[in-house]
Amino acid sequence: MPNLNEYKDVWVFTEIKDHEKVNNCALEILGKAREIADELNQNLVAIILAYEADKYISTIEQYGVDKIIYVNNIELKHYHEQIFPELIFNLITKYKPSIFLFPSTEASSALSARLAYRCRTGLVNNILNIELDKDKGDLILTDKPAYGGIYSVKIVCPNTRPQICTITTGTFQKQELKKDNVKIIEEKYDFDINKNKIKIIGAPTRKDKPSASLSDAKFVIGGGNGLGSKENFEKLHKLADLTDAQVGGTRRPIFNGWMPEHLQIGISGESIKSNLYLAFGISGAIQHVVGIKDSERIIAINIDPNASIFKVSDYCVIGDANEILDGLLKNYEVE
């Protein structure tokens, strides 16, 4: 068992999205992490692994960090399953953070799991809230949906460090705060290329990548299992093209092969803050509702008058989602 007294500070993995900008969820997490660090009287530390990593420092400095630790190398332009865990594990071994928070993205979820294994510590994914246990120092309590979202349970990691969590976009609010004398530390890129069993031969691409991220979209059209088939689900894309919207959906269409995983809305996907969310054939499980609750207007279409999504909707349409979808498309064709 490690000496827990040796572990200090709150770390946030500030993931770089598409080699273009700091992931928005990471900036949201920094706000909550700042509160926790202040309660502990410890430092808030942002971790950057990227190509040209230094160009993101000025952005991250605006969100209340005390320190920024970064590693810069061309090999860090895209997430790598061996390189990223190796480098960050070395940083953990050197600096010994008590708390380490990650955005709930594909890359960060994979990274946090590998780090938890290497550190022989716990990991809680897709938490809804995080707070300190007032009676036990730096021990954190994490709220996690359980039993299909019916309950929220508190999970702790009392005997190992760091305490690792992933957090979904939209869980916390961004809080801009520029601190004086932010300490910038560049760590050496140190990875033995002979260990590399995975070679990236081209930049990762998605043919169906949306023109804008779901989290930034003003109008989102969502689809659920109630649409019944991939052909019906594809009609959402036709409607989106006609209305300048983005398409998303629930977990079930992913399992059914109707849509790719990165279009999922909910606890294990994206959270949206759209002006309008139009939901077709979505029952309204809590895992999905968490991701849409901050939308300004929610219109839900479901044939079941008792569908849970109606409880969080501004407008409820009881009817066959496919018939209404066909009607909307026909109306646009007529126009």
Q: Do 86 and 179 sit in the same domain of this protein?
A: yes
pLDDT for 153-164, tens place per residue? 899 999 999 999
* Average model confidence (pLDDT) across the chain: 90
CA distances from 47 to 26, 33, 102, 190, 268 (A): 10, 13, 10, 16, 22
Domain-embedded: residue 127: yes
Number of Cβ atoms within 10 Å of the Cβ of 61: 16
pLDDT for residue 144: 84
Q: Give the end of a domain, one of 141, 166, 195.
A: 195
Domain-embedded: residue 205: no
DSSP H or E stretch at residue 106: helix 106-119
- Is the pLDDT at 189 greater than 70? The verdict is yes
pLDDT for residue 150: 62
Domain-embedded: residue 202: no
> How far is 109 from 24, CA to CA, in rounded Å?
15
Q: Do 16 and 45 sit in the same domain of this protein?
A: yes
Q: Do 54 and 117 sit in the same domain of this protein?
A: yes
CATH of the domain at 247: 3.40.50.1220
> How far is 148 from 139, CA to CA, in rounded Å?
26
Q: Do 228 and 296 sit in the same domain of this protein?
A: yes
- Number of folded domains in the chain? 2
Domain-embedded: residue 59: yes
CATH of the domain at 131: 3.40.50.620
End-to-end CA distance of the chain: 69
Of the candidates 216, 195, 213, 332, the residue with the CA atom closest to the CA atom of residue 274: 216
What is the extent of the structural domain holding 121? 4-195
pLDDT for 272-281, tens place per residue? 889 999 999 9
pLDDT for residue 201: 66
| Interval 228-235 mean pLDDT | 95
Q: Do 32 and 169 sit in the same domain of this protein?
A: yes
Q: Could you tell me if 280 and 227 are in contact, meaning their C-beta atoms sit under 8 angstroms apart? A: yes
Q: Give the end of a domain, one of 195, 223, 251.
A: 195
